[in-house]
A and B are shown apart, each in its own frame.
Chain A
């Protein structure tokens, strides 16, 4: 895992994208909104694949996937964010990310592009006070006429979901 992260780091360096502070984001759509995550977290992007359901797992964990011999849990971000479920189509993608040395996949509606967002264009997240905690949001960025919600993927995936699952398992 560390190896693949290193490879990605190397790749980004090679592209000249990272000059001290990384500001590249992979953006994707979920329902009507555009989201972005730190590209250094992304290991790979896969098309939608059949997964194996995990008995007794929280609703957002749709199952586990065999990723070249590693068993990787897959989360549905729609379920995670309490968005209405849709039928997976040919655009449905699994973004495989590495957080805290763990490999996880998340299902999104469609992957858009890799964007350069300068730190100056990012505004801190407003206080929502609703289901989605503002801790999961790193900030908002205005790119052209689009608003991109930048997610702190670590707190989205590891934060409450696992904490909840672990407390249930205990």
Chain B
């Protein structure tokens, strides 16, 4: 264990916390826009910014601390009612939020550099009235009543980097810093501990710290520097005035007279870079799907601890029973084992629940997205979210965000109309997008619906014919037409916009949903709206399965994909054209897939009337899978097969049965859609 590693743990914790705080902040700022006079809300916002500042200063992340400090000044005035909340303020706050995100990303080394924020810093200072500018101040002064001295107060940044041997000279930098109080107003002190070496190398007689001290009011720079004159040798002491950019030249003249004052732009950001780098980098950080940490509520942990306590008690009961076991005690033994089973099942459930997060984490980003996009495309949009507390596996949440974003963007860009068109169609000017999440059966349903113009089927059909996806003679139901948009390379956007319609549209969405083991469908009515419906498994790590046997092998079918199981009569099973086998189930004709043929199992039952047909379904496509026997239903823990081996067509993963043997979980999607079949036959032939 070296101290550097230890620090990085705390850093990571800070970054997690900062991101969470920033998310909260965003949510609150969006609320602030609609209720600008909510003082509780303003206080909460201020506390958020303050926590971020405090945390970043503690960890020596001076960029973030400086920037947030400026923001905090503004927020403080807003909070005190000295500055009214208007659109400009909200815009500045949101822009600052984005910049803080970028700074956090820089600090956590996700991106190389944050975009230049000097303009933003200037806007913050102008808005907060902190600037000394006689030219810019009146802009603010119109709306803001500030005490005169505050409005024109100057700010100074004092850098104190004592020489390493300062302590040996008998000087105490901390004492000197505390003396500053006597003649200046200290606004804040940021301590930079970045040059502190590893603990093994620390010499207690050396000084490693440096400070950035913000002073306000009219500071006598010479007097400040005088204070430090005793430790001047080998130390680096500078005192500079913080001025808004654009005023540097004017101010510089007046202060360079002092001879020792260095002027720099007050830009809090790191080196300037074009905004393109942020766009690229931002994308990268959202791509990062499997963040390695997970915040778990203490409730969940406490429940687990209780359960484990019970487990221990059960174990000792079991021990007592078997200590001097006779057949007379059999009922007691069975009882104890049953108790144990209940207990372990519950522990399993609770442990799985640790991975479950409310879908709020995925929905949370949309209010901002909708707000920003609505103004870009000139539409009025209300976003409603329902069922935010619905819990989903963390992995699923991380992976579903991108498809959801795409769908919401689509609704904004293509689904909803402009206010004029809406009014002409007799609809309210403001369109509504609803995100709804709820449980249904063993799955989670997420619906994204809008009350826009609906899909124009004529255009879709025309487009599909143009692209050669269908032929003109095809007879299509409206349902089939709607689903054409999921085909690769299909995009009906008349012009390519930033927002959507880059030709890589819905097929990507569909593919990501399928890769999560889910499915997507849509319903649309002209002029009423469009609704996308995503069905997702609750969790990807554990599933309810049905074990089936084929020959002497055992396979697991996910229960959610099973429709029913039947034993067919010989008249129901037919060979079509001597090639493919079909079965008639209550009037429907389904293809028969013989698992023993797919997997090359030799000892299986081949007569369908003596075997079982399991009707499986994926993505609304059904097939009948021929197996020997159904063994039973059980929960199985999904194990990866490609960690140590490789992906096997037709197999979704492995699991371990009660007897310790490995069994494979069938990839129903692959089998139903026949992908696996063709791959397998070539492989077996090879």
B646 and A71: CB pair below 8 A? no
C-beta contact mask, B662-680 vs A, less than 8 Å → 1, else 0? 1110000000000000011
CB of A48, distance to nearest CB on chain B (Å):
14
A168 and B682: CB pair below 8 A? yes
Contacts of B651 in A (CB 8 A): 54-55
Query: Is A54 within 8 A of B553, CB to CB?
Result: no
Asked if B646 contacts A166 (CB within 8 A), the reply is: yes
Q: If the complex has contacts A55-B598, A73-B644, A102-B643, are A169 and B679 also in contact, measured as CB distance less than 8 A?
A: yes
A55 touches B599 (CB 8 A): yes
Name, among A64, A69, A162, the residue most crowded by chain B CB atoms within 10 Å (CB to CB): A64
Minimum distance in angstroms from A74 CB to a CB of chain B:
10
B683 adjacent to A56 (CB under 8 Å) = yes
CB of B644 within 8 A of CB of A102, answer yes
In the complex with contacts A50-B661, A71-B639, A168-B682, A56-B599 CB distance below 8 A: yes
Q: Does A53 lie within 8 Å of B553, measured CB to CB?
A: yes
Asked if A73 and B645 make an inter-chain contact with CB atoms under 8 angstroms apart, the answer reads: yes
Contacts of B620-678 to chain A: CB distance below 8 A: 639-641, 643-651, 654, 656, 660-664
29 residue pairs of the A-B complex, CB under 8 angstroms, read A50-B661, A52-B654, A52-B662, A54-B645, A54-B664, A55-B598, A55-B650, A55-B651, A55-B680, A56-B648, A56-B650, A56-B684, A57-B648, A61-B645, A64-B645, A65-B662, A66-B656, A66-B662, A69-B639, A70-B644, A71-B640, A71-B654, A71-B656, A73-B645, A102-B645, A104-B645, A162-B646, A168-B686, A169-B648
Query: In the complex, how many angstroms separate the beta carbon of A37 from the nearest chain B beta carbon?
Result: 18
Q: Which residue of chain B is the closest to A98 with respect to CB atoms?
A: B644
Given contacts A64-B641, A168-B683, A169-B649, contact A52 B600 (CB under 8 A): no
A93 to B427 CA separation, bound complex (whole angstroms): 76
CB pair B683–A54 under 8 Å, yes or no, is no
Closest B residue by C-beta to A67:
B644
**A57, B639: Cα distance in complex, Å:** 18
Determine if A72 is an interface residue (Cβ-Cβ < 8 Å). yes
Q: In the complex, which residue of chain A has the Cβ closest to the Cβ of B553?
A: A53
Q: Which residues does A use to contact B, with CB under 8 Å? A: 50-57, 61, 63-66, 69-73, 102-104, 162, 165-166, 168-169
Task: Write the nearest CB–CB distance from B498 to chain A, whole angstroms.
Answer: 36
Q: Which residues of B contact A64 (CB under 8 A)?
A: 641, 645, 654, 662
* Known interface pairs A56-B683, A71-B656, A168-B686; 20 further A-B residue pairs with C-beta atoms within 8 A, sorted by A's residue number: A50-B661, A51-B662, A53-B553, A54-B645, A54-B648, A55-B601, A55-B650, A64-B662, A66-B656, A66-B660, A69-B639, A70-B639, A71-B639, A73-B645, A102-B643, A102-B645, A103-B644, A162-B646, A166-B646, A169-B648
Is B683 a contact partner of A169 (Cβ separation < 8 A)? yes
Q: How far is the CB of A4 from chain B (nearest CB, A)?
A: 13
* Per-residue contact bits, chain B 112-134, to A (CB 8 Å; 1 contact, 0 not): 00000000000000000000000
B661 contacts A66, CB within 8 Å?
yes
Closest to B663 in A: A52
Least CB distance from B148 to A in Å reads: 66
B side interface size, CB within 8 A: 30
Query: Once the chains bind, are A56 and B600 in contact (CB under 8 Å)?
Result: yes
* B599 contact set on A, CB distance < 8 A: 55-56
Contact of B646 among A65, A66, A169 (CB under 8 A): A169
CB contact under 8 A between A56 and B645, given known A66-B662, A69-B656, A71-B662:
no
Cα-based distance from A64 to B641 in the complex (angstroms): 9
Query: Across the interface, which residues of A come within 8 angstroms of B600, CB to CB?
Result: 55-56
Bound complex: CA of A64 vs CA of B639, how far in Å? 12
Chain A residues within 8 Å of B648, by CB: 54-57, 169
**Alpha-carbon distance between A70 and B645 when the two chains are bound, in angstroms:** 11
Name the B residues within 8 Å of A55 (CB-CB). 598-601, 648, 650-651, 664, 680
CA of A70 to CA of B656, assembled, Å: 9
Closest to B551 in A: A53
Chain A residues closer than 8 Å to B686, beta-carbon distance: 168
B661 to chain A, nearest CB (A): 6
Least Cβ–Cβ distance between B422 and chain A, in angstroms = 50
Closest Cβ of chain A: how far from B237's Cβ, in Å? 49
Residues in A neighbouring B639, C-beta threshold 8 A? 69-71
Minimal beta-carbon separation of B596 from chain A (angstroms):
10
- Please indicate the chain B residues that have their CB under 8 angstroms from the CB of A168 in the complex: 682-683, 686
Q: Residues of A contacting B601 with CB < 8 Å?
A: 55
Tell me the complex Cα distance, A88–B352, Å: 41
Q: With a CB–CB cut-off of 8 A, which chain B residues contact A54? A: 641, 645, 648, 651, 664
Say how far B683's CB is from chain A's closest CB, in angstroms.
4
- Collect the chain A residues with CB atoms within 8 Å of residue B640's CB: 71
Contacts of A52 in B (CB 8 A): 553, 654, 661-664
Considering the complex of A and B, which 9 residue pairs feature the smallest CB-CB distances, nearest first?
Answer: A55-B599, A73-B645, A52-B662, A56-B683, A71-B654, A102-B644, A66-B656, A168-B683, A64-B662
Taking CB atoms, residues of chain B closer than 8 Å to A165 are: 646
Give Cα A57–Cα B650 distance, bound, in whole angstroms.
12
Q: Mark B588-628, 1 if CB is under 8 A from A, else 0.
A: 00000000001111000000000000000000000000000
Alpha-carbon gap, A50 to B662, bound state (A): 10
Please give the distance in Å from B652's CB to the nearest CB on chain A.
13
- How far is A55 from B648 in the complex, measured between Cα atoms in Å? 8
Give the CA-CA distance A165 to B656 in the complex, in Å.
24
B656 pairs with A72, CB closer than 8 A: no
Interface centre among B645, B647, B656, B664 (most CB of A within 10 A): B645
Nearest CB of A to B678, in Å: 12
Residues from chain A with a CB closer than 8 A to the CB of B656 are: 66, 69, 71
Q: From residue B637, how far is it (CB to closest CB) to chain A in Å?
A: 9
In angstroms, Cα B600 to Cα A56, docked, is: 8
Chain A residues within 8 Å of B650, by CB:
55-56
Task: Among A61, A69, A70, A166, find the residue whose CB has the most chain B CB atoms closer than 10 A.
Answer: A70
Contacts of A102 in B (CB 8 A): 643-645
